Amino acid sequence: MNAAAALDKQIELYRQMTGEQRLAVALELHELSCNVAREGIRRQHPNANAEEVERLLRRRIELARGA
């Protein structure tokens, strides 16, 4: 299966889901992206504590929303 066919299949599967199922997928993807961003922040700021990491994550999200 090539990339285009895989995308078409994924879209088909999403269309078969209920709104609640699609929302659950979106929330899982959001949490995954936040975890990836947290890891990047920890690498850039190895001495940051958990509160600082969360503050920097919120700042990144704010900047992204403004872009």
Query: For residue 56, is pLDDT > 90?
Result: yes
Q: Is the dihedral of CA 1, 23, 32, 44 positive or negative?
A: positive
pLDDT beyond 90 at 67: no
Kindly indicate the confidence band of residue 1, based on its pLDDT and cuts at 50, 70 and 90.
confident
pLDDT at 31 over 90: yes
The domain spans of the chain are: 19-66
Q: How far apart are CA 63 and CA 26, in angstroms?
A: 20
Residue 45 makes CB contacts below 8 A (sequence gap 6+) with 52, 53, 56
- Asked whether the predicted pLDDT for residue 30 surpasses 80, the reply is yes
Are 53 and 45 a contacting pair, CB within 8 Å? yes
2 backbone φψ class: left, alpha, beta (φ>0; ψ -120 to 50) = beta
Global pTM reads: 0.77
